[in-house]
Amino acid sequence: MARAGCGTGKTLGAYNWGKQYAVGGKLFFCYPTTVTSTEGFLDYVHDEISSVLLHSRADVDLELATTGEEAEAGDSQEDELAKKLESFQTWGTKVSICTVDTVLGLQQCNRRPLYCFPAIAQAAFVFDEVHCYDERLFGGLLRFLEVVKAPILLMSASFLPWQLDAIKKAVGEPIEIIHGPKELEKLPRYRFNLVDTPNWQRVEQELTNKGKVLWVCNQVGTAINVYQEAKSRGLNAVLYHSRYRYEDRVKHHRAVIHAFKPEAPLTFWLKWYIAIQNKQTVEVEKLNVWWCISFISHVICGLPVL
């Protein structure tokens, strides 16, 4: 198990782990979402090693990421023949980057993992962002740990005590927990400033100082309103929320990733984002929709996870 914060090198460490435990076999690197799977594929293994990206929208993500051209994604069911052919690629590739259901779905006899079984049967596994799993998915992971005796690495920035206890019980043997470097874990990451009204002067000052701003809203409508205000002030703003068509959302996602690269123009990015994890309850009506947290770009670690 690897327990370390964002930006401490967990992913690179996982691939070094794979060099030891996946020798002569395969490596399945499992992410909780299609977005993180795609970013993990593009950032670490694409054109670097024999690899394949596996999730329901992989073709659209890769086409838009490489060519920028629009593709029709829709929400229709996958073509069965295409699913088979895509799954068969795992037989000949060294590394498979996938959503976690590609592996855990084997326990429910889902078709894709069944097609991938010859590769899964000789693989080592990395499960990233385990803290994002809901109760059902985490239960599937525990069952997988009980049944499958293969090299497995679990990674998260925030394993909860009850999760650690459940994992140890499922594995049934001592588990090594690797922590991030203390000198990085203890570095101050954020400076918080609670305000009741939008602080546009602070936003504009941040951009003037060659910084970049991430503005998180708890409602899509609020994000749109703030975006419109930013545009009216002449700011280079990017809006990103969940109500775009999938192919358009992928385009906006790529624009955001590009905007936070060092050579990109100064950018003001708005995001609608609420995370309800680990059985915690968020009472939306108690959230101040004008809470604004701005970050200088170099302190934003793990941006694709957001």
Rounded Cα gap, residues 209 and 202, in angstroms = 10
Does some domain include residue 190?
Answer: no
Does some domain include residue 105?
Answer: yes
The mean of the pLDDT values for the chain is: 76
Does some domain include residue 282?
Answer: yes
Q: Record the tokens describing residue 271, joined without a space.
A: 């995001």
Instruction: Between 41 and 27, name the one with better pLDDT.
Output: 27
pTM for the full model?
Answer: 0.66
Percent of the chain with pLDDT over 90: 25
Q: Which residues contact 258 (CB under 8 A, 6 or more apart)?
A: 264
On whether both 219 and 178 belong to a single domain, the answer is no
Does some domain include residue 59?
Answer: yes
Residue 261 sits at φ, ψ, to 5 deg, of -75, 150
On whether both 61 and 207 belong to a single domain, the answer is no
Rounded Cα gap, residues 292 and 48, in angstroms = 39
On whether both 77 and 177 belong to a single domain, the answer is yes
CB neighbourhood size of 108 (10 A)? 10
Number of domains observed in the structure of the chain: 2
Residue 270 clears pLDDT 70, i.e. is over it: no
On whether both 104 and 153 belong to a single domain, the answer is yes
Distances (CA, A) of 151 to 174, 221, 253: 14, 46, 33
Q: What is the pLDDT of residue 65?
A: 54
Does some domain include residue 206?
Answer: yes
On whether both 129 and 209 belong to a single domain, the answer is no
Instruction: Between 138 and 87, name the one with better pLDDT.
Output: 138
Q: Record the tokens describing residue 10, joined without a space.
A: 């967990």
On whether both 175 and 236 belong to a single domain, the answer is no
**Domain region containing 284:** 200-305
For residue 221, give the CATH number of its domain. Answer: 3.40.50
Rounded Cα gap, residues 4 and 184, in angstroms = 9
Which tens digit of pLDDT belongs to each residue from 34-74?
877 777 777 777 767 767 787 766 655 555 554 333 334 44
Tokens 């590769």 map to which residue? 119
On whether both 168 and 29 belong to a single domain, the answer is yes
Residue 153 sits at φ, ψ, to 5 deg, of -120, 125
On whether both 97 and 149 belong to a single domain, the answer is yes
For residue 179, give the CATH number of its domain. Answer: 3.40.50.300
Which tens digit of pLDDT belongs to each residue from 143-191?
999 999 899 999 998 888 899 999 999 998 889 998 888 888 788 877 8
Does some domain include residue 283?
Answer: yes
On whether both 241 and 107 belong to a single domain, the answer is no
Q: How confident is the model at residue 28 (pLDDT cuts 50, 70, 90)?
A: very high
Last residue of a domain, one of 152, 184, 216: 184
Q: What is the pLDDT of residue 153?
A: 96
On whether both 132 and 219 belong to a single domain, the answer is no
Does some domain include residue 192?
Answer: no
Last residue of a domain, one of 184, 211, 233: 184
Q: How confident is the model at residue 263 (pLDDT cuts 50, 70, 90)?
A: low
Does some domain include residue 193?
Answer: no
Last residue of a domain, one of 124, 155, 184: 184
- Give one DSSP letter per residue of 199-222, joined into a string: -HHHHHHHHHTT--EEEEESSHHH
- Say how far residue 249 (Cα) sits from the centre of its chain: 15
On whether both 255 and 176 belong to a single domain, the answer is no
Rounded Cα gap, residues 216 and 149, in angstroms = 42
On whether both 13 and 99 belong to a single domain, the answer is yes
Find out whether 300 and 188 touch, Cβ atoms under 8 Å.
Answer: no
Residues in the chain: 306
Closest Cα to residue 272, out of 227, 208, 211?
A: 227
